[in-house]
């Protein structure tokens, strides 16, 4: 845990007064985490936030299980490696677990993903209180997001707001089961074995895979192209 120092506390809001904020940072890039911690040191009052940083989904689940008090806020990266058991294939799945285990927790998604379809899917799935693209994070944006979210508001960064205004086919639906299918195909698991890991029949899995190829508008329809497109869009 790290206590934060402060050089600029003019943004201090009522929620932090007399209350130590418990922040969980989930990101597998150490330099990114260091950047968040340094930035928070510039914008929050000294001693007002307690930070636990973890670099994997499994470590995040362990932190939740071992925590004696709920976290107030989580900085959640979406492009996380799967959990060891393969049940959580992305930060999106982890976000759902966080919501279930600690319903009062506030989620702030911080991601490199900038595909409008993917972003809208994450928002529909998690309904995060905050959503920032890593490419546009500044001290001002992080500060605004931090205090807005802690004070019960929703904050999406300017580029996220812009992307949300772009049209997207509302008929397109890719859920967590689809992401699991993509994940197991990506690690080389044979299709016939997928019902061992995914609670669906072989016929349903095949139908979903065919639908994924249609939804992602593949040219050749090959599994290789499916995985390339899924990676490009941030699904695996």
pLDDT in tens, 98-149: 999 999 999 999 999 888 888 888 998 899 999 999 999 999 999 999 999 9
On average, the pLDDT of the chain sits at 86
Residue 196 has a pLDDT of 87
pLDDT at site 200: 87
- Sheet (strand 21-26) strand order: 2-3, 49-54, 21-26, 73-76, 106-111, 130-133, 155-156
pLDDT of residue 220: 78
Q: Report the candidate in 67, 11, 6 with the shortest Cα–Cα distance to residue 37.
A: 6
For residue 54, give the H/E element and its range. Answer: strand 49-54
Average pLDDT over residues 62-79: 94
Contact yes or no for 78/30 (Cβ under 8 A): no
CA distance 20 to 73: 11
- Whether pLDDT at 71 is above 60: yes
Cα 77-126-35 angle, rounded to 5 deg? 20
Q: What is the pLDDT of residues 194-222, one digit of tens each?
A: 988 888 889 999 988 988 888 887 877 78
Tokens, residue 51:
């930070």
The token pair that represents 156 in the structure block: 């999406």
Tell me if the pTM is above 0.85: no
Q: Is the pLDDT of residue 6 over 80?
A: no
Each residue of 150-171: pLDDT tens digit? 999 999 999 999 988 877 665 5
* 78 within 8 A of 90, measured Cβ to Cβ: yes
Q: Which of these ranges, 10-24, 63-77, 196-210, has the smallest mean pLDDT?
A: 10-24
* Terminal Cα-to-Cα distance of the chain (whole angstroms): 30
| Total count of residues recorded for the chain | 236
């Amino acid at each position: 845990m790290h206590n934060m120092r402060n050089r600029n506390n003019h943004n201090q809001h009522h929620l932090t007064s007399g209350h130590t904020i418990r922040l969980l940072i989930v990101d597998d890039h150490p330099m990114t985490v260091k950047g968040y911690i340094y930035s928070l040191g510039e914008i929050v009052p000294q001693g007002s936030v307690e930070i636990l940083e973890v670099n994997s989904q499994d470590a995040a689940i362990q932190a939740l299980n071992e925590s004696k008090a709920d976290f107030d806020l989580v900085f959640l990266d979406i492009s996380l490696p799967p959990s060891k058991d393969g049940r959580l294939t992305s930060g999106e799945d982890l976000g759902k677990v966080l919501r279930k285990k600690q319903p009062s927790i506030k989620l702030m998604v911080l991601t490199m993903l900038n595909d409008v379809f993917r972003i809208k899917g994450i928002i529909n799935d998690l309904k995060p209180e905050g959503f920032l693209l890593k490419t546009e994070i500044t001290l001002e944006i992080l500060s605004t997001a931090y205090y807005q979210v802690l004070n019960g508001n929703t904050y999406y960064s300017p580029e996220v707001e812009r992307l949300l205004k772009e049209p997207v086919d509302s008929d397109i639906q890719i859920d967590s089961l689809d992401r699991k299918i993509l994940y197991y195909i990506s690690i080389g698991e044979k299709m016939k074995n997928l019902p061992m890991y995914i609670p669906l029949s072989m016929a349903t899995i095949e139908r979903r895979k065919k639908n994924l190829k249609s939804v992602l508008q593949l040219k050749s329809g090959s599994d290789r192209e499916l995985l390339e497109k899924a990676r490009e869009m941030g699904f695996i």
